[in-house]
Chain A
Amino acid sequence: MNAEAVIRTHGLRKSFGAVKAVDGVDLLVQRGEVFGFLGPNGAGKTTTIGMLLGLLHPTAGTAEVLGQPVTPGRTAALRRVGALVGAPGLYPYLSGRDNLRLLARVSPDAGAGRVEEVLALVGLADAAGRKVKGYSTGMKQRLGLAAALLHRPELLILDEPTNGLDPAGMRDVRELLRNLAADGVTVFLSSHLLHEVEQACDRAAVLNHGRVIAQGAVSDLRGSERLIKVRVPDPQAAAAVLAGLPGVGRATPNGHYVEVSGVTGEAVVGCLSGHGIVPGEVTTSQGDLESVFLALTQES
């Protein structure tokens, strides 16, 4: 059960002046998995990725990629890594094909055939001859993905790869990631789109205020919280009452309902009845990643 670690960070920290952007992050990503990296804006995701890609010096801690330490001065391991971080870096005065040919010059195994292969893979074969400055955001994103795949990386690090893509494009990228994982490529996917992570990833980590607040299999993360929805006459008042219930994760009004986590349905009904509130309808469901994410980030 000791799968090979493809990314391993230990106590990774990065401060900008007094601001701790990343505060002791321990991550473990195993070979062949699609790993989701979640967190609200400003949680430290892109800073963490910057350190994994040798773009930033860690203030403390270590980052290992494919078994080798990575810092801005030690980047040899990154030759086997493909990355797309934020808006892709592209030369606007060159065509899509020429952008890839340029990158292929430093990748011995990425010949002309491989350039055409990745262009077809991301659905850009027809537009490959056009200059990039005329590309839409989605097309640039696809080209950035093609560039990341060009040298047949063992590890793919993607930060919001579906930005600017239409729903069909998003689905294509999800399928592509799954196919890559099936071929043995490890995918580290940072995304705001929780359903995307839920559908594409095997395991995930949730980052907030620079710290990992949860890490594990997506099914475990999802299953760790059961959500109870109670229909009540006054959801605000019911939420206030339930917030005082021992062990409650969150109690939030939502329309005619109040949503509660962290406690059993019986406890919720008992508590409300005790305060003279008669529940009209009680349903229990397994929490989806979005509710887990909201609960975790609000708690922390």
Chain B
Amino acid sequence: MFWRLFLAEEAKITKRTLFWVEVALLIALTLIQLTSNYSTAVGPVMARASESLIQIDREALRARATASATWPTVFAGILANSGQIAWLAVIVLVGALVAQEYNWRTLHVWVGRGVPRLTLLAAKAASLVAPLLVVILLPLLAGSLLAAPFTVSIKGGLDLGQVDFGRLTLSLLATAFGLFPYAALTFLLAVAGRSTVTALGGGVAFVFLNIALTLSGTPVAPYMPFGLMNGLHRLVGHLA
């Protein structure tokens, strides 16, 4: 029963336009960022700033932009950006997927057919793992593809041997795992509040609390999702 429900939930998610719009937006933001980095790497830098500042920053800025637009360093940059913006996509997606089931009375349909509530909610929660991976993986793939010609243009070729696929996979999983707290909280609020507004509002408020605690540097900050994600990435770097 669990597996059948899980597949039904996955089918529902992949047929939601909202999900694909979110993925498309994340891909678009990634590609814009990469193109901007590439322009900085190959074009004139800080044309309107003071000349002395240009002399100081030009090479460092160009080096940073090159690293952010070319293989193999581009992957870490894409994952870091995704981790910083995908939380909003996750909150909106989970809030809509779960809370709207109450508005549409569709949960009653499943429960009224003898599906145990706990199994239904467990399948629903488990089915959110795949979208979390997709919102990280697809921008990474799209960004990697765009960065390939940038790399050839700047470095004169692609060296796949430089790519540490094991570390890349771990970084991908760490980024996706860093989104779990947002997904879990929004899921909980949607089930408890049965309202999309409560779920989305609570999820976004949690993010702002997270940002405030991180910026203020309180001792709790490392245990909040931003701190968790940073810690995981440090761990991946250490393992590699």
Residues from chain A with a CB closer than 8 A to the CB of B11 are: 102, 105
Option from B15, B107, B114 in Cβ contact (under 8 Å) with A89: B107
Contact sample, A vs B, 10 pairs, CB 8 Å cutoff: A55-B112, A75-B111, A75-B116, A78-B112, A79-B114, A93-B16, A105-B5, A105-B7, A107-B113, A151-B113
Option from B15, B106, B115 in Cβ contact (under 8 Å) with A106: B115
Smallest distance from the beta carbon of A147 to chain B beta carbons, Å? 7
Interface residue A127 (Cβ < 8 Å from any Cβ of B): no
- Measured CB to CB, the residues of B under 8 A from A are 1, 4-5, 7-8, 11-12, 15-17, 104-117
Option from A78, A86, A93 in Cβ contact (under 8 Å) with B113: A78
5 tightest CB-CB pairs across the interface, nearest first?
Answer: A78-B114, A79-B114, A89-B105, A89-B109, A89-B106
Find the A residue at minimum CB distance from B116.
A75
Interface residue A296 (Cβ < 8 Å from any Cβ of B): no
Residues from chain B with a CB closer than 8 A to the CB of A53 are: 108, 111-112
Option from A83, A89, A147 in Cβ contact (under 8 Å) with B104: A89
Residues from chain B with a CB closer than 8 A to the CB of A106 are: 1, 4-5, 8, 110, 113, 115
Find the A residue at minimum CB distance from B104.
A89
| Cα(A103)–Cα(B9), bound, Å | 11
| Cα(A92)–Cα(B15), bound, Å | 11
**Would B15 and A93 count as touching, CB distance under 8 A?**
yes
- Measured CB to CB, the residues of A under 8 A from B are 53-55, 72, 75-81, 83, 85-94, 98, 102-103, 105-107, 147, 151
Residues from chain B with a CB closer than 8 A to the CB of A87 are: 105
Find the B residue at minimum CB distance from A132.
B104
Smallest distance from the beta carbon of B190 to chain A beta carbons, Å? 16
Find the A residue at minimum CB distance from B118.
A73
| Cα(A93)–Cα(B166), bound, Å | 39
| Cα(A60)–Cα(B5), bound, Å | 32
| Cα(A91)–Cα(B15), bound, Å | 11
Smallest distance from the beta carbon of A129 to chain B beta carbons, Å? 14
Residues from chain B with a CB closer than 8 A to the CB of A105 are: 4-5, 7-8, 11
Find the A residue at minimum CB distance from B11.
A102
Given A75-B116, A86-B105, A106-B4; 4 other pairs, CB 8 A cutoff: A55-B112, A92-B104, A94-B12, A105-B7
Residues from chain B with a CB closer than 8 A to the CB of A79 are: 113-114
Residues from chain A with a CB closer than 8 A to the CB of B117 are: 72
Residues from chain A with a CB closer than 8 A to the CB of B107 are: 89
**Would A102 and B12 count as touching, CB distance under 8 A?**
yes
**Would B106 and A75 count as touching, CB distance under 8 A?**
no
Given contacts A75-B114, A103-B113, is CB(A55)–CB(B108) below 8 Å? yes
Residues from chain B with a CB closer than 8 A to the CB of A93 are: 15-17
**Would B15 and A85 count as touching, CB distance under 8 A?**
no
**Would A98 and B8 count as touching, CB distance under 8 A?**
no
Residues from chain A with a CB closer than 8 A to the CB of B12 are: 91, 94, 102
| Cα(A102)–Cα(B114), bound, Å | 15
| Cα(A83)–Cα(B7), bound, Å | 23
**Would B114 and A77 count as touching, CB distance under 8 A?**
yes
| Cα(A98)–Cα(B14), bound, Å | 13
Given contacts A89-B105, A93-B15, A102-B11, is CB(A54)–CB(B112) below 8 Å? yes
Smallest distance from the beta carbon of A14 to chain B beta carbons, Å? 16
| Cα(A90)–Cα(B100), bound, Å | 11
| Cα(A77)–Cα(B109), bound, Å | 15
Option from B15, B109, B114 in Cβ contact (under 8 Å) with A103: B109
Residues from chain B with a CB closer than 8 A to the CB of A91 are: 12, 104, 106
| Cα(A89)–Cα(B107), bound, Å | 8
Q: Kindly name the residue among B5, B11, B104, B117 whose own CB sees the greatest number of chain A CB atoms within 10 A.
A: B104
Residues from chain A with a CB closer than 8 A to the CB of B16 are: 93
| Cα(A75)–Cα(B106), bound, Å | 17
Residues from chain A with a CB closer than 8 A to the CB of B114 are: 54, 75-81
Residues from chain B with a CB closer than 8 A to the CB of A102 are: 8, 11-12
| Cα(A105)–Cα(B1), bound, Å | 9
Residues from chain B with a CB closer than 8 A to the CB of A76 are: 114
| Cα(A80)–Cα(B112), bound, Å | 10
Smallest distance from the beta carbon of B204 to chain A beta carbons, Å? 23
**Would B15 and A98 count as touching, CB distance under 8 A?**
yes
